[in-house]
Structure 1
Amino acid sequence: MVKKIILMLVIFSLIIFSGCEDKNKIEDEDEIKDSKIAQLESQIEQLNTKITELEGEINELNKQIEYKDDFVEIMTEYISDGDLLTLARMEWTYNIQVDEEDINVDGIVELDMPTFSLKVEEVQNQYKALPTQIRNLGKISGSLFSNHIQFLDAKPSETSGIDEANISSATYVFKDLSPGTEVSLEISRELQDRLGLETNILKIIYLVDEEIQTLEDDGEMNDQESEE
C-alpha cells in the first residue's frame, strides 16, 4: 500500500514538473518572438528614415539636372555653329576593327588565318550633355551600315548586329578564305574622316607565313636601299 502511495506521489510530481516546464518554454518562446518583432520594427524605422533621406537627395539631383539643362541650352545660343558641330561630334564615336583590333591608318590589314570578323560600331556617349537636337548633328549622316560601307569583292559569310541604347554595331564574318585572298571594302569619305584613316579603301589580306615573311624581307630591303 505504501509503495502504491509513493508511486502515485512520484507520478503526480512528474506531471506537475512537466507542466511547469511547458509553461516556462512557452514563456521563453513568447519573449523570443517579442524580441524579434522589436528588432524588425527598429529596422523598418531605420529603412524609412533612409528612404526619406534618399528621396531628398533625388529631388536635389533632379534640381541640379534641370539647372544644368537650362544652362547648357542658354550657352548654345552664344556658341558658333561650327563649335556646336565640333561639340556634337564628340558625342559620337565610330570604330572599325578586324578580329577586335583597330585598322591601321593606311587601311591595310594582313592576317595569317583564313577566317576573320570585321566589326563596325557606332557609340553614343551615355552621358548626354547637349540638347538632343544639337547632339544629333554630330551623328554620321544616314545609316552607318547601309550608306557608308560597301564590300567590293568578297562578301561576308555571316552578318550579325546589335542595336542598343548607346551602341549600334554590325559584325561581318568571312570564312575559309584561300591564301592570297584580298577582302576590299569602300567606306564613305565622311566615315573615313570620323575614323581618322588615310584612305577610304580598306584591304584585309589573308597571307600564309611564307608570304608574310617575303613582304617583311621586301620591306627591309627597301629600307636598306633608301639608306644607301
Structure 2
Amino acid sequence: MKRSLICVCLLSLMIISGCSPESEQPADETPETSTGAVAVSGEGSSALEEKIKEQKQMIKTLEAANKEYLNLLEAAISHLDEENLSAFAQKQFSYTLKVNDEAVPPEGIVEIDELPVAVTLVSEMGTSILLPQKIYEQGMLSSDDPLEHLNFMKEEPEDVVVRDGTSVQSFTYIFGEESPLEEMEFMISDELKGRLGLDTNVVKIIKGQ
C-alpha cells in the first residue's frame, strides 16, 4: 500500500507539472470613457467582470492544487530510502555533453570537420515547478562549477559562453579558434561520466582531414 502511494505521488509530478498559476490580473480595473474612446456598455461591463471573476477563481484553484501536490510529494519522498530518492531526484535533472553540437558517444571519441572546437555541458531541469530542496541536492551534480567535472588538462579555453535559462543552463568552452588544433583530450569526473552514461572518463576529439 505504501509503495502504491509513493508511485501515485511521483507520477503526479508529470501530471501537475504544467499547472502553475498565471499572474493575476487586477480586478479593480474598470473600463474608462475618455475623449476618443468608446464607452463600455452595461452588458459589456458585466461580461468583463464575470470573466475577471472566473480567472480569479481559476488562479485560486491552481494555487490550491499546487499546494496539495507539493504536500503529497513531500509525503511520498519521506517514505523513499536513500537509493530510491537519489534515483528519483536524478530523473528530474538531465545532463548532455556535446562537441560542436553533437552528443559525445559512449566510447568518448569525436571526429570534427572543422575548427573551432566547442565543448558544451548542458543541464536541464525536467519540470518547471518548485521542487523540495532534497530533490535539488540529490538530483544535480555535486558542484555548480563545470570545471569540477571537466578537466581540459593542457588546453586552455580561448572563450567561454554561458547561457542561463529558467530550466536549461549551458557552459560552452571554445578551443582552436585562434591557434591550430589537430586533436585534444579532456577528462570528465566519475560523477559526470555516470550521469552521461559514458564508458570512459576520457573524451578525445580528432580533426578530420
For normalisation by structure 2, the TM-score amounts to 0.74
1:169 match? 170
For 1:112 and 1:86, locate their aligned partners in 2 and report how far apart those are by CA, in whole Å. Answer: 38
- CA deviations 1:110-162 (Å, max 9, x no partner) are 11213231111111223347412233211111234131111023322211112
For 1:86 and 1:130, locate their aligned partners in 2 and report how far apart those are by CA, in whole Å. Answer: 15
- The residue correspondences of 1:194-205 to structure 2 (distance < 5 A) are 194-205=195-206
For 2:200 and 2:102, locate their aligned partners in 1 and report how far apart those are by CA, in whole Å. Answer: 18
- CA deviations 1:147-180 (Å, max 9, x no partner) are 111102332221111233322211112225647x
1:7 match? none
- The answer (yes or no) to whether the contact 1:92–1:124 under 8 Å persists in 2 is yes
1:40 Cα deviation after fit: 4.4
Of stretches 128-137 and 83-92 in structure 1, the one that deviates more from structure 2 is 128-137
User: Which portions of structure 1, spanning 4 or more consecutive aligned residues, are displaced by more than 4 angstroms?
Assistant: none
Of stretches 160-169 and 57-66 in structure 1, the one that deviates more from structure 2 is 160-169
**What amino acid sits opposite 1:165 in the alignment?**
T
Gaps of 5+ in 1: 1-32, 209-228
Gaps of 5+ in 2: 1-34
2:55 is equivalent to residue 54 of structure 1: yes
2:87 is equivalent to residue 89 of structure 1: no
Give the total of aligned pairs.
172
**What amino acid sits opposite 1:50 in the alignment?**
K
**What amino acid sits opposite 1:190 in the alignment?**
E
- The answer (yes or no) to whether the contact 1:94–1:122 under 8 Å persists in 2 is yes
- The answer (yes or no) to whether the contact 1:115–1:177 under 8 Å persists in 2 is no
SS of alignment partner, residue 133 of structure 1 = helix
2:122 match? 121
Greater helix share, 1 or 2?
1
For 2:93 and 2:145, locate their aligned partners in 1 and report how far apart those are by CA, in whole Å. Answer: 12
- CA deviations 1:53-90 (Å, max 9, x no partner) are 01111111111111111111112222211111100011
Give the alignment's Cα RMSD to 1 decimal. 2.1
Of stretches 125-134 and 83-92 in structure 1, the one that deviates more from structure 2 is 125-134
- The residue correspondences of 1:36-115 to structure 2 (distance < 5 A) are 36-37=38-39, 39-115=40-116
- CA deviations 1:173-227 (Å, max 9, x no partner) are 2225647x2111101010000001110100111121xxxxxxxxxxxxxxxxxxx
Task: Determine what percentage of the aligned residue pairs are the same residue.
Answer: 26
1:145 match? 146
For 1:177 and 1:105, locate their aligned partners in 2 and report how far apart those are by CA, in whole Å. Answer: 28
Distance change >3 Å, CA 191–CA 91, structure 1 → 2? same
- The answer (yes or no) to whether the contact 1:112–1:207 under 8 Å persists in 2 is yes
For 2:46 and 2:137, locate their aligned partners in 1 and report how far apart those are by CA, in whole Å. Answer: 47
For 1:60 and 1:79, locate their aligned partners in 2 and report how far apart those are by CA, in whole Å. Answer: 29
- The answer (yes or no) to whether the contact 2:160–2:172 under 8 Å persists in 1 is yes
For 2:106 and 2:158, locate their aligned partners in 1 and report how far apart those are by CA, in whole Å. Answer: 26
For normalisation by structure 1, the TM-score amounts to 0.68
- The residue correspondences of 1:206-225 to structure 2 (distance < 5 A) are 206-208=207-209
